[in-house]
């Protein structure tokens, strides 16, 4: 038997013994970290970044051996590779972090005082090609350890032990392992080896490109392929938000998954394995547990925070995880050096159940501490922290509706509200004492949607907290708050009563940080940022005038990418109003409002420089355009790429999938996919979407505004 395979098996057994002491079961996570790819321009040097031009002419020394650990340390960086079709990850919903591999490798690099240089390729075969050519030091990705691969590469201690499953369209029955089943698999997949060795009579249909488990599941659900194979954890992740696929067979042989490096690079392998051993980083299925905080830290277990997917709490935007509650809990976890895991619930009742059953440790979801809830919490044997935030309970109305100056003015007016809302008691009092009409909203309609319905004059009134109103008013200037019912509504965290240590640490955290610099920065970022709420005067143009101070730069940079320069100028106005120092609360900066992390991936290090900022925006827009089918009409490619630029590629793919389900055209933006995008604001739809909640009206308006301004620019310049 291959010596390295023996070593891997022994290491696997050792790791499983360690982890068994924590009474946990192994879990898979596939293909987690995603990021921005950079297109290789085919059109000379014009329009490229200065840094990329330097790269193009730089003579690269061809290596014939892998870099040793000493050489890596001396250089100050690790060369790692990722797939360029990965833009952003699915919203982490329960138990796994979206940036597992990159975050883990970054932790290793940080501990060793190193940086990471990311290389991007289009498929898994390209990853191994770069590793074999010694262009990268490591493939930090769940890779199945096979005998064939062990002949060519070394693998770290396993990060995961799992089984492979055959999936089919939901409702299909009768899979028989003895039949000549037709299995579709992407090129370079280790599943091909598994099938050839365990079931050589199965027919394998090779897909000549590497696609994700999500895309393979889409093909199965759409009937384009009959069966495919994915990892067990990948299936569990997909099942969290979709019901159109099912497992029909589990391959009997368990698989180990790990990172790959080059053969005989023992010094680097030693460092990686030492890190993995010390940190116990194998991904696990978390059992139900109710242990207190000190034991959690001692056992190196993650802190599981239960929350909602909403603009106040936790959401995904351009590949960044954001949210007021999320950032506070991330700070708490960092302080105590524990891993943070987010568990997403769809309702208040579900959050209480998850906490009581030991499937989470804290509820941090902007929950107000009311008398009715306090009684319910006590009965459920839960406890609340001290107040970590306070808000006002306010009436939301349209600015053009009949004036409301006092409570008696509510007579005959209609307030729409969910029965489960903490504002329900207030609404009942208003109906009883002042003659307001109460309409019970569907439980799937979140408060932010009710606010949007008020802004659109679809409903008369609703009630919301001042934090959420602050977020929504920055996008909906039509709404006003004529009455405030309560001034100081406290928000509190919830824990189990039998976790007094965790409660004490949370209270200590609140006392130290509440109203401090960190807290105020985070709160202002989401609720009171003036830059998000500031309205801009229209940039007026006359025929024959220049469109912007940067027209010549834009003209130069768009040529290799076949964009109309006037489109980019229109987008630039939408993003920054031609202010090169523009920024927003989420960290985007410059003329094209790029996130610094994304800009760095594109080779840009100074977003204050108009030339670099424009170049990064053009490259990023081109990247999003390339992700969509070339069968789309040219103008549709533009619409979809603009929507992706604004909201994120994943949210647009969710909208396309929903459009198909609704009988709309998934290849048309206006009046089709844009309608689905708006629906992804509603819980009944976004809870089944891979990327979760999105403020759908924002990309819809973004595309429409840029398109209309672009048409005006054409008239002016023609």
Domain count within the chain: 4
Instruction: Please work out, in degrees rounded to the nearest 5, the angle formed at the alpha carbon of residue 543 by the alpha carbons of 539 and 546.
Output: 60
Q: Could you tell me which residues are beta bridge partners of residue 384?
A: 494
Structural contact between residues 103 and 142, judged by C-beta atoms closer than 8 angstroms: no
Domain carrying residue 91: 3-51+62-161+257-284
Q: Which helix H or strand E contains 415, and what residues bound it?
A: strand 414-418
Instruction: Please work out, in degrees rounded to the nearest 5, the angle formed at the alpha carbon of residue 481 by the alpha carbons of 478 and 487.
Output: 155
Token digits of residue 584: 């927003």
pLDDT of residue 34: 31
Residue 427 domain flag: yes
13 lies in the same domain as 98: yes
pLDDT of residue 9: 43
Is residue 479 very low, low, confident or very high in pLDDT (cuts 50, 70, 90)? very high
User: Which of these ranges, 275-279, 468-472, 540-544, has the smallest mean pLDDT?
Assistant: 540-544
Residue 437 domain flag: yes
Residues 200, 617: Cα–Cα separation, whole Å? 49
User: What pLDDT digit, counting tens, does each position of 228-256 carry?
Assistant: 999 887 888 788 788 889 999 999 988 88
Token digits of residue 303: 């802190």
Structural contact between residues 281 and 159, judged by C-beta atoms closer than 8 angstroms: yes
| 3-state SS, residue 67 | coil
Residue 311 domain flag: yes
138 lies in the same domain as 45: yes
Look at the alpha carbons of 89, 91, 94, 100 in this order and tell me if their dihedral is positive or negative.
Answer: positive
Q: Tell which wins on pLDDT, 287 or 308.
A: 308
Q: Could you tell me which residues are beta bridge partners of residue 594?
A: 589
| 3-state SS, residue 109 | helix
Alpha helix ranges (H) inside 363-463: 371-379, 424-434, 447-455
Residue 147 domain flag: yes
Structural contact between residues 446 and 453, judged by C-beta atoms closer than 8 angstroms: no
Q: How many CB atoms lie within 10 A of CB 30?
A: 22
Q: Is the pLDDT of residue 11 over 50?
A: no
Q: Is the pLDDT of residue 329 over 60?
A: yes
Residues 3, 21: Cα–Cα separation, whole Å? 28
Residue 207 domain flag: yes
pLDDT of residue 1: 47
Q: How far is CA 86 from the centre of its chain?
A: 12
User: What distances in angstroms separate CA 584 from CA 478, 575, 593, one per listed residue?
Assistant: 22, 10, 8
Residue 362 domain flag: yes
229 lies in the same domain as 368: no
Look at the alpha carbons of 382, 387, 389, 390 in this order and tell me if their dihedral is positive or negative.
Answer: positive
Q: Which of 508, 527, 546 is the last residue of a domain?
A: 527
Residues 434, 483: Cα–Cα separation, whole Å? 14
Structural contact between residues 76 and 116, judged by C-beta atoms closer than 8 angstroms: no
User: What pLDDT digit, counting tens, does each position of 384-411 carry?
Assistant: 999 999 899 999 999 999 999 999 999 9
12 lies in the same domain as 101: yes
Q: Which of 491, 513, 541 is the last residue of a domain?
A: 491
Task: Tally the C-alpha atoms within 13 A of residue 43's C-alpha that lie toward its C-beta.
Answer: 12
Structural contact between residues 255 and 164, judged by C-beta atoms closer than 8 angstroms: yes
pLDDT of residue 31: 31
126 lies in the same domain as 209: no
Residues 217, 225: Cα–Cα separation, whole Å? 9
362 lies in the same domain as 485: no
pLDDT of residue 718: 67
Q: Residues with Cβ < 8 Å from 695, sequence gap 6 or more? A: 311, 475, 647, 681
Residue 29 belongs to domain with CATH number: 3.40.190.10
φ and ψ at 82, to 5 degrees?
Answer: -140, 165
274 lies in the same domain as 324: no
Query: Exposure of 586 by Cβ count < 10 A (0-12 exposed, 13-18 middle, 19+ buried)?
Result: middle
User: What pLDDT digit, counting tens, does each position of 254-284 carry?
Assistant: 888 899 999 989 999 999 999 888 765 545 5
State mean pLDDT over 118-133: 86
36 lies in the same domain as 128: yes
Q: Which of 429, 463, 491 is the last residue of a domain?
A: 491
Q: With b meaning 16 or more CB within 10 Å and e meaning fewer, what string describes 104-121?
A: bbbebbeeeebebebebb
Residue 236 domain flag: yes
Residue 465 domain flag: yes
State mean pLDDT over 585-593: 86
266 lies in the same domain as 334: no
138 lies in the same domain as 249: no
């Amino acid at each position: 038997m291959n010596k390295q395979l023996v070593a891997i098996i022994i290491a696997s057994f050792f790791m499983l013994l360690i982890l068994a002491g924590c009474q946990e079961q192994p879990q898979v996570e596939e293909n987690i970290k995603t990021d921005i790819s950079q297109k290789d321009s085919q059109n000379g040097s014009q329009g490229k970044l200065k840094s990329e031009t330097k790269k193009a002419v730089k003579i690269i020394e061809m290596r014939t051996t892998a870099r040793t650990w000493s050489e890596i340390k001396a250089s100050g960086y690790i060369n790692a590779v990722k797939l360029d079709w990965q833009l952003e990850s699915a919203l982490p919903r329960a138990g796994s972090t979206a940036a597992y591999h990159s975050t883990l490798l970054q932790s290793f690099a940080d501990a060793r005082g190193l940086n990471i240089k990311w290389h991007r390729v289009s498929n898994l075969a390209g990853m191994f090609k770069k590793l074999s050519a010694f262009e990268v030091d490591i493939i930090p990705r769940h890779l199945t350890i096979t005998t064939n691969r062990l002949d060519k590469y070394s693998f770290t201690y396993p990060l995961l032990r799992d089984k492979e499953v055959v999936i089919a369209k939901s409702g299909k029955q009768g899979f028989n392992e003895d039949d000549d089943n037709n299995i579709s698999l992407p090129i370079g997949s280790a599943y091909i080896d598994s099938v050839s060795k365990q079931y050589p009579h199965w027919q394998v249909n090779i897909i000549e490109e590497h696609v994700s488990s999500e895309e393979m599941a889409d093909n199965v659900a759409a009937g384009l392929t009959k069966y495919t194979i994915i990892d067990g954890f990948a299936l569990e992740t997909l099942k969290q938000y979709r019901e159109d696929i099912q497992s029909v067979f589990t391959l009997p042989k368990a698989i180990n998954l790990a990172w790959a490096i080059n053969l005989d690079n023992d010094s680097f392998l030693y460092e990686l394995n030492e890190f993995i051993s010390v940190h116990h980083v194998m991904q696990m299925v978390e059992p139900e547990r109710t242990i207190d905080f000190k034991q959690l830290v001692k056992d190196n277990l993650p802190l599981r925070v239960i929350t909602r997917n909403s603009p106040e709490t936790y959401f995904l935007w351009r590949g960044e995880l954001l949210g007021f509650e999320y950032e506070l809990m991330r700070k708490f976890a960092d302080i105590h050096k524990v891993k943070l895991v987010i568990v997403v619930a769809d309702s208040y009742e579900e959050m209480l159940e998850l906490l009581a059953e030991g499937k989470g440790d804290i509820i941090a979801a902007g929950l107000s501490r009311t008398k009715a809830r306090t009684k319910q919490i006590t009965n459920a044997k839960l406890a609340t922290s001290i107040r970590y935030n306070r808000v006002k309970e306010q009436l939301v109305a349209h600015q053009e509706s009949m004036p409301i100056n006092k409570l008696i003015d509510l007579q005959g007016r209609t307030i729409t509200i969910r029965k489960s809302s903490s504002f329900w008691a207030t609404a009942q009092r208003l109906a009883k004492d002042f003659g307001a009409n109460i309409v019970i909203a569907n439980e799937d309609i979140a408060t932010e949607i009710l606010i949007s319905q008020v802004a659109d004059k679809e409903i008369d009134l609703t009630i919301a907290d001042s934090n959420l109103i602050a977020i929504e008013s920055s996008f909906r200037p039509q709404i006003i708050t004529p009455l405030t019912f309560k001034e100081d509504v406290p928000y509190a965290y919830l824990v189990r009563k039998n976790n007094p240590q965790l409660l004490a640490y949370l209270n200590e955290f609140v006392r130290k940080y509440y109203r401090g610099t960190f807290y105020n920065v985070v709160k202002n970022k989401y609720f009171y940022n003036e830059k998000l709420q500031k309205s801009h005067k229209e940039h007026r143009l006359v025929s024959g005038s220049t469109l912007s101070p940067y027209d010549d730069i834009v003209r130069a940079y768009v040529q290799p990418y076949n964009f109309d320069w006037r489109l980019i100028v229109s987008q630039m106005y939408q993003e920054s109003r031609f202010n090169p120092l523009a920024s927003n609360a989420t960290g985007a900066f410059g003329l094209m409002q790029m996130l610094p992390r994304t800009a760095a991936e594109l080779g840009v290090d100074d977003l204050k420089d108009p030339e670099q900022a424009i170049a990064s925006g053009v490259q990023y827009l081109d990247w999003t355009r390339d992700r969509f089918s070339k069968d789309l009409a040219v103008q549709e490619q533009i619409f979809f790429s603009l929507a992706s630029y604004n909201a994120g590629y994943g949210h647009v793919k969710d909208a396309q999938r929903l459009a198909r389900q609704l009988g709309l055209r998934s290849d048309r933006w206006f009046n089709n996919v844009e309608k689905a995008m708006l629906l992804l604001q509603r819980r009944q739809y976004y809870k089944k979407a891979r990327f979760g909640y999105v403020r759908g009206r924002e990309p819809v308006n973004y595309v429409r505004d840029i398109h209309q301004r672009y048409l005006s620019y054409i008239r002016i310049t023609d």
